Structure 1
Amino acid sequence: MKRSRFLQLTGFASAVIVNPLLFQQDTNATINQLLGLNQSHLNAQKTLENQTYIAYLKLKDAAKKDGIDLKIVSGYRSFQDQKRIFETKFKRNKSNGLSDAENIKNIINYSTIPGTSRHHWGTDFDIIDAKVKQPKGDLLLEEHYHGNGVYCKLFEWMQKHASSYGFKLVYTNNFHRKGFKYEPWHYSYQPVAKTYFSIQQSKEFKSKWNQLQFEGKNSMTSKILNNYFKEHLGHINPSLK
C-alpha cells in the first residue's frame, strides 16, 4: 500500500511522518490488529475497538429508553479464537467424510477463515435483546429476528435507529449478494470499519495473512481464496466499503 494511500485510509493524512521505519511499524501494527494478533486498539474490557465502544454505549442507552436491553453475545474475537472455531468445524466435517473442498465451502457459509474475521477488528458485534425471554438453543437464528421472533422488536429498532449512531448491518438480506449468509444480528461501526475494510483488501494485508498457520489452510486453493476475498469478504453492505 502506498504511503499516501494508507494515510488517507487511516484518517491521518495531515500527520507528518518523518521516519519511514516508524510508518512501516504503524502499518504492520494495524494489519496485526485486523488479523486478530494485536489488541492495542480495543477498550479496557477487550470487547470492542475504542471508538466503536463509545458509540455502542450511546446506542445501548438509546435502546434502553425504548425498552430494549442490547447485549453483545459476540464482540471482539482473536485469531486464536477464530482458529479454534474453524479447526473444530474442519475436523468434524472431515470425520463426516466431506472432501477438503466441500469442507471449506461448508464452513464459510457462516464462519470466517482465521485472520479474516471482522470480529478481529473490534468494530463488529452480534446482538440480542437481553430483556426478553431467551429462546432455547442457538440464539443467533434468522427466525428469532423476524415475524414473531423474540428479537423482532430489537431488529426493527436497529433498522430504524442504528445508522444514526454509525452502525450498519453487515450481511444484508439481498438476494443478489454473494458470500456469507444473511445475519440480522451482525452490526458494524461504519466510521472505523470502512477504513479497516480497505486495509483488509490490500496486498500488504494478504501478504501477512499468508504467513498464518492453521489446520485446513493447505486445502485452500488460490481459486478458493480469491473467491473468498472477493465474495465473502467483499459482498457486504455497500455502505461499509
Structure 2
Amino acid sequence: MLSVAELTGQVDSHVVSDPCCRPTVRLQPAVYGAYRAMAAAAQETGLAIDIASGFRNFSRQQSIWNRKFSGAAPLYNVHGQLLDADTLTMGDKIEAIMTWSALPGASRHHWGTDLDVFDPRPFAAGTRQLELIPAEYEEGGPCHSLALWLSQHAADFGFYFPYRQYRGGVAAEPWHLSYGSLATDAHQLLTVEVLAEVIGQSEIAGKDYVIACLPELKARYIDTICDAADAHGDDTWIFG
C-alpha cells in the first residue's frame, strides 16, 4: 500500500528504474515486470514499444499546471483546438487544464503504475518528434499499429486504458496505460480529504478555487475513467 506521500508524488520511494528503459523512466517493480513481458510479446510480432513517461513527481506536475494556468503554455479544448486563455473564466481555465493535464497530487503518474507508451522506430532518426497526440495513434499515424496491438493484448499483461474513451472529463489518451491491480488500489486511497490537505500546502496556481470545487473536479476528472473491462479488444477510440 502506498503512503500518502508516495500516492501524491511527493516522494519516489516506491519506484525504480530498469535496464530496459532510460534511467529517468521509473515505475513500481511489479509494473516493470509486466511491461517487460508485454514488450517481448510485441517484439515477437514485429512491433516495438517504449515508454515516454512513467513516474512523475508532484513538483513536475505542479510546474506543468502552473505554466498552463499562467499562460506560459497553451490550453486546448477536448478536440485539441487552441483556446484563448484571456477569455476564460477561472473555472473554464481549470477545466481546460484538467482535460489534458492532471491536478498535482492527483496524477496517475505519481503512483508508478501508469505509463505513456509509443513506437520508437518512426522517431529514431530525429526527423520527427513524439507529441503524444491522438493523430499519432490513429490510422496513418506512426503509432497506429502498436495501438491496435495494445488494444487487443495489453490486458493479457495486466494493463488497461483508463482514458480509452472521452467521458466528459479527461480527453482520450491512446498512449496511457495503467497496471490494473496496483492502480485500482491507489485510486481508492486518493480521497478528497487527502487531496485537499496536499493541495492546501502547495503552491498550485488557483488552489483556493480548486479546493472549493474539489469534490466536483475529482468526480469528473479523476474518478470518471474507463475500467479494465471497458471496450477490451475494441479498436475504436472515442476522442470527444
| Deviations 1:13-52 (CA, angstroms, capped at 9, x unpaired) | xxxxxxxxxxxxxxxx611111101211111446111211
Normalised TM-score (structure 1):
0.79
2:12 is the alignment partner of 1:39: yes
Q: CA deviation at 1:239?
A: 2.8
Equivalent pairs, count: 211
1:238 aligns to what SS in structure 2? Answer: coil
1:125 aligns to what SS in structure 2? Answer: strand
Please give the residue correspondences for 1:52-91 in structure 2 after superposition, counting only pairs within 5 Å.
52-91=31-70
Higher helix share: 1
Map of 1:5 onto structure 2: none
2:122 aligns to what SS in structure 1? Answer: coil
1:132 aligns to what SS in structure 2? Answer: helix
2:177 aligns to what SS in structure 1? Answer: strand
Map of 2:215 onto structure 1: 226
2:174 aligns to what SS in structure 1? Answer: coil
Residues 173 and 218 of structure 1: CA distance in aligned 2, closer, same or farther (over 3 Å): closer
1:188 aligns to what SS in structure 2? Answer: strand
Q: CA deviation at 1:141?
A: 1.2
Map of 1:150 onto structure 2: 142
2:227 is the alignment partner of 1:238: yes
Q: CA deviation at 1:212?
A: 3.0
Contact 1:101 1:219 in 2 (8 A): no
Normalised TM-score (structure 2):
0.79
Map of 1:140 onto structure 2: 132
Separation in 2 of the partners of 1:40 and 1:222? 27
Residues 89 and 61 of structure 1: CA distance in aligned 2, closer, same or farther (over 3 Å): same
Q: CA deviation at 1:62?
A: 1.1
Map of 2:77 onto structure 1: none
**Structure 1: 5+ residue stretches without partners:** 1-9, 11-28
Map of 1:22 onto structure 2: none
| Deviations 1:62-87 (CA, angstroms, capped at 9, x unpaired) | 11111222111111100011011111
2:168 is the alignment partner of 1:178: yes
Separation in 1 of the partners of 2:225 and 2:93? 23
Separation in 2 of the partners of 1:36 and 1:221? 18
76, 100, 121: which one pairs with 2:90? 100
Q: CA deviation at 1:217?
A: 3.3
Separation in 1 of the partners of 2:210 and 2:151? 38
Map of 1:48 onto structure 2: 27
1:56 aligns to what SS in structure 2? Answer: helix
Separation in 1 of the partners of 2:196 and 2:103? 15
Structure having the higher Rg = 1
Matched to 1:146, the amino acid is E
- State, as a whole percentage, how many aligned pairs show the same letter: 27
Q: CA deviation at 1:210?
A: 4.0
Map of 1:196 onto structure 2: 186
Separation in 2 of the partners of 1:179 and 1:49? 26
